[in-house]
Every structure is written in C-alpha cells, then in structure tokens.
Amino acid sequence: MTITTKPTLMVSAGEASSDMHAAHALVALQHTGLEFDSFGMGAGQLLAAGTELLVDCRELAVIGIVDVLINYPRFVKRLNVLKRALHERRPDLLLIVDYPDFNLKLAAEARKLGIPVLFYISPQVWAWRSKRVTKIGKLVDHMAVLFPFEVPFYENANIPVTYVGHPLIDQIDCQATVDDACSLLGLDADKPIVALLPGSRNGELSRNLPCMLQTAELIARAKPDCQFILPTAPTLERHTVEEALKNSSVPVSVIEANTQLAVRAANAVITASGTATLEVALLGTPMAIVYIVNKINYAIMSRLIQIDNIGLVNIVSGKTIVKEFVQDAARADAISTEILRLLDDKQYRNEMLNELAIVKEKMGEGGASDNVATLIAEMLNSSR
C-alpha cells in the first residue's frame, strides 16, 4: 500500500495587497482540484483561503525607511520564524509575493535547503536598483510578472519568467455607460466632470490633494459649471477626506467605494502616480498624472530611477502618452492647462484615448490568479 501525502506550499506575503493576490491564486489552485496544504505569512485573505498563518503581516505594516529601521528587530524576529518553518517543514515550494527585501532573504534560506522558489509580482528592478536582477536569478526558480515589458528584462538575465497578467484586469468590472455612471452618481452628464484621485494612503492625500484642489479652482474659473468628484479608496476614512476638503473653494463630491464608476463618469482624471494610472487607462478615461513625495525621498529616488516615466500607463506604453507633473513641476497652472485641453481639444483627447486603448490591448486578457495557480501546480508536481 502506497501512502501519498499532499504537497505543501509555503507562502510569504508581506502586505495587504500581496495577501489578496496570493489568496486569489491559492483559491484558483483549489478550484483545479489539487489538494495541498499551505502555511506562512499573510493576513486575513490567506487565512480565509485555508493557509495556516505563522506570521501576520499586519504586524509589519510600516511606511518609510525610518519606520523600517525603528522596527527592524520585529522584521528579523518574523523572518526567523519563517526560516525555522522552512527547515522544520520542508515545503515542496516557496511562493513569495512582492515585499522583495524581506522575501529574498527567505528565498536565500530556501535555496540552501533545495526548496524551489516562485516569485509572484516582481520588484521594480527595471526602474531602479537594476543590479538586483543578478541576486534574484541566484535565488528564484521562476518569476511570475504582472507586465509584458518585464518578460524580456528577465529573459535577458536568463531567469525563467511568465507573464501572468495583471490582477487589476480581472477587477475592472464597470459595465456602465458614461450616462449610466453619471445617473447612478447623481451627476449631470451634460456638464464637464473631473475626478480627483490623490492616492490611497493618508500621506498621499496630504501631499497630492492640495495641489489638485488648487488645480480644480483654476479649472472652475474657466468652466464654472465643472463638477469635481473624489472617489475614496477603502484605505481612507471618509472623515479624513472631508477634513482635507473643508477649505476648498470649489465643491467636491466624495464618492465612497466606487472608483471605477466615478472614473467612467468623468471626462478627465487627475490621478496620483501608481496602479491608479493603469486602472484609469483600462477604463478609458483621459488623465494627467501628479507625483509629489517627501523632498528627501525624491532627492534619493531621482538619483536612482533609471527610466524616463514614473506613471505605469506610460511605462506599459513605452512612451509618454499621459503628461506627468512630478514634484516641483506639479503646479496648478500647468495641470489645469492640460485638463482643460483634454476637455476642449477633441483631437488631442481622441489621440490619448487611442493610446489608452493600445495600453489596454498590451495588458492582455487577465486571468492572473489562474495563471499563477497553473505555475504553482507545475512546480509542485515537478518538485515531488
């Protein structure tokens, strides 16, 4: 009689978004019918997916290099818990999700033990600290990347890589027309609408919103009937947003938990840099990008960044299709001029819309969770 044991998978997801993406992949793996056990680091969504949590990543939720240094002993303690688990349980595969500085240390331990490593969601080695790719190649057996332009980067370094698609593609589910979106949000479709997306964190809100409100004031002078809306991220409390808006000289309607509908209703968007630029692109709304960070952080980053654009929509495009207003260039007069042109210049607007459609085509059909699940299954099977 042959006794077979279920394959075991160790997961390390260090942030809320990583926890979500990892959980979706494991749920997709369960749907294939493969029976497996999983354990490691994550939060509520991995727990709900049946993963035994040895470390709750919410204990490591810090922002900025100063916070990291202050909390460094906590990071080391949690890392050691996971390293011990690698030695004691010897999983068939280690799945690390984003969080590179922490997860690559764990991958190094797995490498010593001969445990294969799948890295889901690449660090931005193509943007800065490109020498990390050599380190990644020594520690990781396969990369599962979110962007098509990342594939040749890893192929050129002889690292096995698969473009699995971006999870955001599957999350774009707004089927409403512009008129329907306006009706649902109580907006007048016959008057211009500008959406403000200052970011999903309190720090982004405090840095980006003042500039966006100054921009809105200038737009309102040129177009007194313009409507301004601010869809809030789930990570922001409504009262925090309303407090930030209280001194605005133009009315701004706060829309909770319905960013996609707000973007669909808008004629133009002023958005912080980040994944939001890709979301706006996939929804097909013209935009301008604002990027404002702490002056010290910007001084450091500006010396390290090796690419011309910081907006994901431009990086995926391979050229500047959306104007970026970065740091000192993030001035209300310049941004308002761009938004007014997007509202008034039909040819200019259509050119951007065509470029956004090309970005959407480049991003593919989605299915990231299913594609990662397929990779996990293949690596589990080959390791046994």
Give domain limits for the chain: 8-165+367-383, 171-363
Q: How confident is the model at residue 134 (pLDDT cuts 50, 70, 90)?
A: confident
Residue 14, both tokens: 């260090």
* E strand or H helix at 100: helix 100-112
Residue 60, both tokens: 């490591």
Residue 11 above 90 pLDDT? yes
Alpha helices in 188-331 (DSSP H): 202-222, 238-245, 259-265, 275-283, 295-304, 312-317
Mean pLDDT computed over 285-298 = 82
Higher pLDDT, 130 or 361: 361
How far is residue 311's CA from residue 152's CA, in Å, rounded to a whole number?
20
Q: Which pLDDT belongs to residue 63?
A: 44
> What is the pLDDT of the chain when averaged over all its residues?
89
How far is residue 114's CA from residue 103's CA, in Å, rounded to a whole number?
16
Residue 300 above 90 pLDDT? no
Distances (CA, A) of 240 to 203, 228, 261: 11, 18, 22
Q: How confident is the model at residue 1 (pLDDT cuts 50, 70, 90)?
A: very low
Given the DSSP bridges, would you call strands 8-13 and 93-97 parallel, antiparallel or unpaired?
parallel
8-165+367-383 belongs to which CATH class? Answer: alpha beta
171-363 has which CATH code? 3.40.50.2000
Cβ atoms within 10 A of the Cβ of 70, count? Answer: 11
Each residue's pLDDT tens digit, 227-279: 999 998 777 888 889 899 998 999 999 998 799 999 999 999 999 988 899 99
Rounded to two decimals, the pTM is 0.85
Q: How confident is the model at residue 105 (pLDDT cuts 50, 70, 90)?
A: very high
Cβ atoms within 10 A of the Cβ of 226, count? Answer: 20
Q: What percent of the chain has pLDDT over 70?
A: 90
* Segment of 117-121, 130-134, 363-367 carrying the highest mean pLDDT: 117-121
Each residue's pLDDT tens digit, 12-67: 998 878 899 999 999 999 999 999 999 999 999 999 999 999 998 876 654 444 44
Buried b (16+ CB within 10 A) or exposed e, 232-270: bbeebeeeebeebbeebebebbebeebbbbbbbbbbbbb
Is 171-363 in the same CATH topology as 8-165+367-383? yes
Higher pLDDT, 268 or 149: 268
Mean pLDDT computed over 316-324 = 95
Cβ atoms within 10 A of the Cβ of 208, count? Answer: 23
Mean pLDDT computed over 175-199 = 95
In whole angstroms, what separates CA 209 from the centre of its chain?
20
3-class state of residue 281 by DSSP: helix
Q: How confident is the model at residue 339 (pLDDT cuts 50, 70, 90)?
A: very high
Residue 293 above 90 pLDDT? no
Place of tokens 């690292």: 159
How far is residue 198's CA from residue 273's CA, in Å, rounded to a whole number?
9
**Taking the CA atoms of the chain, what radius of gyration do you get in angstroms?**
22
Those residues with Cβ within 8 angstroms of residue 102's Cβ, 6 or more apart along the chain or in another chain? 12, 14, 60, 75, 79
In whole angstroms, what separates CA 1 from the centre of its chain?
49
Each residue's pLDDT tens digit, 348-358: 999 999 999 99
Residue 212 above 90 pLDDT? yes
* E strand or H helix at 353: helix 346-363
Residue 5 above 60 pLDDT? yes
Place of tokens 């979706």: 24
Cβ atoms within 10 A of the Cβ of 348, count? Answer: 14
CB 255 within 8 A of CB 233: no
